[in-house]
Amino acid sequence: MRILLINPPRSPENKILESAPENARKYIHKKLIGPPLGLLTVAAAVRDFDVRVIDLKGEYDLHPDAPGLNELVLSCLKDFNPDIVGVTFIASEFYYGMEIFRISKKYNPGILTVAGGLHVTICPEDFTDPAVNILCPGHSAGIFRDLVMAREKGLPPESIGGIIVNTVKGHHGSSCQAPEWNAAGSNFIMPDRSHLKRWLQTYKVGNDPSPATYIFTSLGCPYTCSFCSIWPQHNRRYYVREIESVIDELKQLHEYDTVRFADANTIVDTKFIHALFDRILKEGIKKKYIMDIRPDTAVKYPGLIEKLAEAGLKVVICGFESFRDEELKNYNKKSSAADIKKSIEIFHRNHIMLRGNYIVPNDYGEDDFKALADYAGSNRVVYAGYTILTPMPGTVFYNEIKDQIIDFDLSKYNFFNCVLQTKLPLERFYENVGKLWKIKLGEDIL
């Protein structure tokens, strides 16, 4: 049984970048490359079969003038001749994923096409195209393995619990229940990074010459910010890994000097993080770490931030979201604007490079842009991001605002495009967002 797992290319839609002034453009990330942890986990679950992983993001980063999707996918199909093609989905890459399935089916209608990942989990209703055979929602590496084994034995997919079968008459579930599966705990599968050799040089952060990798210490999130997809993906549940399992994984990352924690928030259970970093220090594991940490968490636990900095924490991604308490309340962020200022001071005191991200709502007028620019200008961080409030399908915010959505093109759902009616003329709105990107540590205010 030959299994081809494909990470689709990223969406090219980026109106902020297109509208930004030349001197702000260099700060707007055109690409965000990292290993597809989900696919690597699925690949590891079926490692005793003939499995190949293709990272099309890496492919386009290695060769920006690489052939189009059709040609690239066809050449993989011809070379490997798979029985099964699996694709991982987030919202903005939906059309590319579907296109990969169509190309696969056209090449060989007998290929079983399997969709998995976040968008399948929270929006299964989007997957009705006849090119998709099976949906595997949730942390479905184990289910995928069962599916492969059933296929090998000639059993129908309906015999596997937890999958959805897409037919011309609609979706139907399997006749049996999905088995209990704790992807962070007893069912954790070590991602198989050996598949990534070809794209290793593309997994770089900033000017660091060594490649970076991702690792998760937890899945899900205990917070319920209205715009976020992570807690809906995990049904509000939050799972933490065993410390020894994380240590074991870190010890295997010889090729990588930089490790980015892929948790929604790395510090939730402070006892866990204290204990994890005690073990990291005891083992003498020396890496540069990148983490997502909330501003209020830094304010509450400055001693822990100091300890992490001593152990190698170099970059923190911090969701500032808004400088106004009222907006934070609307997002259900459960932190205050005052925490932004205080957290910047704590991170900078510990020589941590801060990527602080503000969310720009669609109803901002000229005065709001000015107020945000003033605030960000007097509270500067090394990297500042200004993305657009986007109703990701499957989130609370999407349901709250769906009547006001004017653009349902999923390739624009990557925080760099506005899909809601704006108060300002759209071009002016983008122009203002683009200009904000100039405001960061060491740069002049607009």
Interface contacts to ligand B12, rule CB under 6 A: 7, 10, 31-34, 36-39, 41-42, 57, 86, 88, 90-92, 114, 116-119, 136, 139-141, 144, 183, 214, 216, 228-230, 262-264, 392, 414-416
The token duo for 312 is: 């190698």
Cα gap 223→335, rounded to integer Å = 11
Core vs surface per residue 97-123: b (16+ CB within 10 A) or e? bbbbbbbbbebeeebbbbbbbbbbbbb
Cα gap 21→37, rounded to integer Å = 35
Judged by beta carbon, residue 382 or residue 392, the one nearer ligand B12 is 392
The 3-state DSSP class for residue 427 equals: helix
Judged by beta carbon, residue 136 or residue 376, the one nearer ligand B12 is 136
Judged by beta carbon, residue 15 or residue 57, the one nearer ligand B12 is 57
Alpha helices in 350-410 (DSSP H): 366-378, 396-401
Least Cβ distance, residue 413 to ligand B12 (angstroms): 6
Q: Taking Cα atoms as reference points, which of 146, 149, 124, 143 lies closest to residue 135?
A: 124
Q: Taking Cα atoms as reference points, which of 109, 71, 110, 116 lies closest to residue 93?
A: 116
Least Cβ distance, residue 345 to ligand B12 (angstroms): 25
Angle formed by the axes of helices 302-310 and 338-349, nearest 10°: 30
The 3-state DSSP class for residue 132 equals: coil
Asked if 430 contacts 422 with a C-beta cutoff of 8 angstroms, the reply is no
Judged by beta carbon, residue 164 or residue 382, the one nearer ligand B12 is 164
Least Cβ distance, residue 349 to ligand B12 (angstroms): 26
Least Cβ distance, residue 40 to ligand B12 (angstroms): 8
The answer for residues whose C-beta is within 8 angstroms of residue 56's C-beta and 6 or more apart is 6, 7, 8, 9, 69, 72, 96
Least Cβ distance, residue 303 to ligand B12 (angstroms): 25
Judged by beta carbon, residue 293 or residue 365, the one nearer ligand B12 is 293
Judged by beta carbon, residue 196 or residue 370, the one nearer ligand B12 is 196
Judged by beta carbon, residue 228 or residue 309, the one nearer ligand B12 is 228
Least Cβ distance, residue 137 to ligand B12 (angstroms): 8
Asked if 247 contacts 279 with a C-beta cutoff of 8 angstroms, the reply is yes
Judged by beta carbon, residue 245 or residue 284, the one nearer ligand B12 is 245
Judged by beta carbon, residue 201 or residue 378, the one nearer ligand B12 is 201
The 3-state DSSP class for residue 25 equals: helix
Least Cβ distance, residue 340 to ligand B12 (angstroms): 18
Cα gap 392→424, rounded to integer Å = 22
Least Cβ distance, residue 291 to ligand B12 (angstroms): 11
Least Cβ distance, residue 445 to ligand B12 (angstroms): 25
The 3-state DSSP class for residue 110 equals: coil
The conformation of residue 196, written as its DSSP 8-state character, comes to: G
Cα gap 92→257, rounded to integer Å = 30
Least Cβ distance, residue 34 to ligand B12 (angstroms): 3
Judged by beta carbon, residue 57 or residue 105, the one nearer ligand B12 is 57
Q: Taking Cα atoms as reference points, which of 374, 343, 372 lies closest to residue 359?
A: 372
